[in-house]
Amino acid sequence: MAGVDYLADERNKAEFDVDSMKIVWAGSRHTFEVADRISKLVANDPAFRKDDRPMLPRKELFKNTLRKAAYAWKLITELRLSEEEASKLRFFVDEPAYTDLHWGMFVPALKGQCTDEQQSKWLPLAYKMQIIGCYAQTELGHGSNVQGLETTATFDPQTDEFVIHSPTLTSSKCYHTVEVLCTWWPGGLGKVSTHAVVYARLITDGKDHGVHGFIVQLRSMEDHKPLPGITVGDIGMKFGNGAYNTMDNGVLTLDHVRIPRDQMMMRVSQVTREGKYKQSDVPRQLVYGTMVYVRQKIVADASCALSKAVCIATRYSAVRRQFGSQNGGPETQSAHYRKSYTGLIQVIDYKTQQNRLFPLLASAYAFRFVGEWLKWLYTDVTQRLAVNDFSTLPEAHACTAGLKSLTTTATADGIEECRKLCGGHGYLCTSGLPELFAVYVPACTYEGDNIVLLLQVARFLMKTVSQIGSGKQPVGTIAYMGRVEHLLKSRCSVQRAEDWLNPSQVLEAFEARAARMSVSCAQNLSKFSNPEEGFAELSADLVEAAVAHCQLIVVSKFLDKLQQDIPGKGVKQLLQAVCGIYYLSLLHKHQGEFLATSYITPKQAALASDQLRALYSKVRPNAIALVDSFNYTDHFLGSILGCYDGNVYPKLYEAAKKDPLNDTVVPDGYHEYLKPLLKQQLHSAKL
């Protein structure tokens, strides 16, 4: 049976050039080649085995992660991998680790918030991993409310130092049940990091200047023990087996820990030798800059996680057969696999399966392209900041916050839907889906709770609406608000189902819905004498308006992508169909809003559904090729249900045999707990 491709027929049906699509998915030929090479390097190295993760006890799991991270670093240095290759290697190793926080947050925080002089001291150490850092912001009592952090950094002019101190019960106003209010959650903090960027309230001469970042050494470079005044450890097991438990999320208390003055990150503001507080020309919000950076990365990562789940569910839906003519014999005769299956229906052919699966497939592509665009936006804003142009920062904040929220929510829900799409077998760890879900789902919370972030977008929208008519022309993703009068009056002109394939029509529909929802919120807000009270009261509506705005961004960036030159036979046509599925499934799901804002009629909504069904039929023969285009190795997918050759059943059977519980035929515990029970029942039955 080895070597047979059970999905070959499906692959032969493809109407587009898969190799070209792989390049579109990767972003460029160069990126494709790097990803292809590095993913194979990881897949072929037994040191990166990961199928045992759900079975390992925490301590072993964690030690194994340390081993893999050290081995990955050895490869990176020995093979002299570039920064791009090294980050791909960590990505394909596919195991949350302290390195994510070191490279993903500690290094960016140093880059974004330190002066040039500070960077020249700290960055070389961090680049060579001579120090390992984490990002310690969240406290036990404060996560979302960053301004409410209670850790203090008090300047001592006598010694030219800051005294960093965790709040205690006596200094805490809000907590009465714990003795110490500590830092809580940072990844990499619990057991590994030697240093942390700690966020604390800066106090000079008795005055509180709000939250600032400080570089604090946590552990000795000699023996890794915590330095005096520092108590640090892991916060305990998290959701799921394996999963995010490879990460040492930590708890930290700082008891009057002293650091030199130059370990305050001083790009945004400074404290002089005399203890004078000075603010640079740059906006204070740049203290939040690392979060903008990471949110942008998280959007790009959403398409990776969702595409993984979708790849598994699509391949398995083509393999799995249910109902139909039974003339081929029972499902378990794997030796006659192909022949016996001819009369049975592949579950991917059920329209209900397509209606759940294909919008997720389309979302994976949509998030890929919006992620690419967001990376561009971030680069652009960074270049502007470097020359003191801060004009696009509010938009960058709104886009990163909103798209992080939209894409992570859809991805977490999508992974769970993919599990259900795989029926019972989706619930097995060997499907890869339970672990993927458990690893992914905190993305809805970390780096900003998704609702809290949408409220930030809503504030931005309300500010924009309030400025309409002031002469200030909205630009970028909010430019459509400049045409709000037209959008409030216009009506959809769709008459036939195919009219829903017209990009300008689609764009106007999403713009009109978003603009109308924002304007309606603004009108309702104006009825409140206290705007903050009104904002709190209407927050559920505001969140919906923010979602409408973010969906518009994703749709418009997908449509923009299709305006580009996309080479390869049939590639652009397929992407047009995929894009259509993305926006029409959104339109269908949020039909109520499109109808309530009166832009479309019920008849036009029905035509949209007709067109959506037609696009499902167009995509169906291409479904396997569309997920092959992600170019994932079986190692990276980590799923028997999603394996490339589709030879699912023998692999499931073999994996079950290898489960430690099957090491013995009679289980451990039989003599202590089962035998006496059975004996006793036998005895009473005889009586």
Ligand X SMILES: Cc1cc2nc3c(=O)[nH]c(=O)nc-3n(C[C@H](O)[C@H](O)[C@H](O)COP(=O)(O)OP(=O)(O)OC[C@H]3O[C@@H](n4cnc5c(N)ncnc54)[C@H](O)[C@@H]3O)c2cc1C
Ligand Y SMILES: CCCCCCCCCCCCCCCC(=O)SCCNC(=O)CCNC(=O)[C@H](O)C(C)(C)COP(=O)(O)OP(=O)(O)OC[C@H]1O[C@@H](n2cnc3c(N)ncnc32)[C@H](O)[C@@H]1OP(=O)(O)O
Site string for ligand X, 102-141 (x = CB under 6 A): ---------------------------------xxxx---
Asked if 447 is an active-site residue, the reply is yes
Nearer to ligand Y, 35 or 292 (CB): 292
- Please answer whether residues 623 and 318 qualify as being in contact, where contact means their C-beta atoms are separated by less than 8 angstroms: yes
Nearer to ligand X, 113 or 138 (CB): 138
Residue nearest to ligand Y (CB): 104
Residue 100 interacting entry, from ligand Y, ligand X, none, C-beta within 5 to 8 Å by type: ligand Y
Binding residue for ligand Y, selected from 189, 291, 433, 641, defined by CB under 6 A: 291
Q: How far is the CB of 105 from ligand X (least distance, A)?
A: 6
Interaction between residue 98 and ligand X (CB under 6 A): no
Interaction between residue 635 and ligand Y (CB under 6 A): no
Residue 244 interacting entry, from ligand Y, ligand X, none, C-beta within 5 to 8 Å by type: ligand X
CA–CA dist 132, 217 (Å, integer):
10
User: Long-range CB contacts (< 8 A, 24+ apart) of 481-486?
Assistant: 481/515, 481/518, 483/511, 484/515, 484/519
Binding residue for ligand X, selected from 73, 175, 390, 446, defined by CB under 6 A: 446
Interaction between residue 528 and ligand Y (CB under 6 A): no
Binding residue for ligand X, selected from 394, 432, 448, 646, defined by CB under 6 A: 448
Interaction between residue 135 and ligand Y (CB under 6 A): yes
Q: How far is the CB of 506 from ligand Y (least distance, A)?
A: 30
Interaction between residue 405 and ligand X (CB under 6 A): no
From residue 255, alpha-carbon distances to 129, 143, 163, 224 in Å are: 27, 21, 9, 18
Nearer to ligand X, 20 or 137 (CB): 137
Nearer to ligand X, 140 or 487 (CB): 140
Containing H/E element for 658? none
From residue 490, alpha-carbon distances to 210, 227, 484, 599, 606 in Å are: 47, 66, 10, 7, 19
Site string for ligand X, 231-260 (x = CB under 6 A): -------------x----x-----------
- Please answer whether residues 188 and 102 qualify as being in contact, where contact means their C-beta atoms are separated by less than 8 angstroms: yes
Interaction between residue 305 and ligand X (CB under 6 A): no
Binding residue for ligand X, selected from 55, 451, 566, 595, defined by CB under 6 A: 451
Structure tokens at 197: 């960027």
Interaction between residue 143 and ligand X (CB under 6 A): yes
Interaction between residue 100 and ligand Y (CB under 6 A): yes
Residue 416 interacting entry, from ligand Y, ligand X, none, C-beta within 5 to 8 Å by type: none
- Who contacts 407 (Cβ-Cβ below 8 Å, separation ≥6)? 298, 299, 302, 303, 367, 370, 371, 554
From residue 653, alpha-carbon distances to 15, 311, 635, 662 in Å are: 34, 21, 18, 12
The answer to the question of whether 187 is labelled as a binding residue is yes
Binding residue for ligand X, selected from 51, 449, 541, 544, defined by CB under 6 A: 449
Total Cβ atoms within 10 A of residue 148: 14
- Please answer whether residues 85 and 38 qualify as being in contact, where contact means their C-beta atoms are separated by less than 8 angstroms: yes
In the numeric block, the tokens 């990176």 are attached to 76
From residue 638, alpha-carbon distances to 43, 47, 246, 312 in Å are: 10, 15, 16, 9
* Binders in 436-495 for ligand Y, by CB under 6 A: 446-448, 452, 456, 459
* Binders in 605-634 for ligand X, by CB under 6 A: none
The length of the chain in residues reads 687
Interaction between residue 150 and ligand Y (CB under 6 A): no
Interaction between residue 186 and ligand X (CB under 6 A): yes
Return the closest-CA partner of residue 558 out of 428, 396, 407, 363: 363
Q: How far is the CB of 182 from ligand X (least distance, A)?
A: 12
Binding residue for ligand Y, selected from 305, 393, 403, 433, defined by CB under 6 A: 393
The answer to the question of whether 407 is labelled as a binding residue is no
| Active-site entry in 447, 508, 511, 593 | 447
Containing H/E element for 321? strand 321-324
Q: How far is the CB of 52 from ligand Y (least distance, A)?
A: 21
Interaction between residue 624 and ligand Y (CB under 6 A): no
Q: Reduced to 3 states, what is the DSSP secondary structure of residue 284?
A: helix
Nearer to ligand X, 160 or 544 (CB): 544
- Please answer whether residues 129 and 102 qualify as being in contact, where contact means their C-beta atoms are separated by less than 8 angstroms: yes
- Please answer whether residues 380 and 435 qualify as being in contact, where contact means their C-beta atoms are separated by less than 8 angstroms: no
Total Cβ atoms within 10 A of residue 256: 12
Residue 146 interacting entry, from ligand X, ligand Y, none, C-beta within 5 to 8 Å by type: ligand Y
Size of the site for ligand Y (CB under 6 A): 30
Return the closest-CA partner of residue 337 out of 328, 325, 347, 324: 328
Size of the site for ligand X (CB under 6 A): 21
Positions annotated as catalytic residues are 447
Binding region for ligand X (CB under 6 A): 101, 135-138, 143-144, 185-187, 244, 249, 442, 445-449, 451-452, 455
Give the residue numbers of the binding site for FAD.
Answer: 138, 187
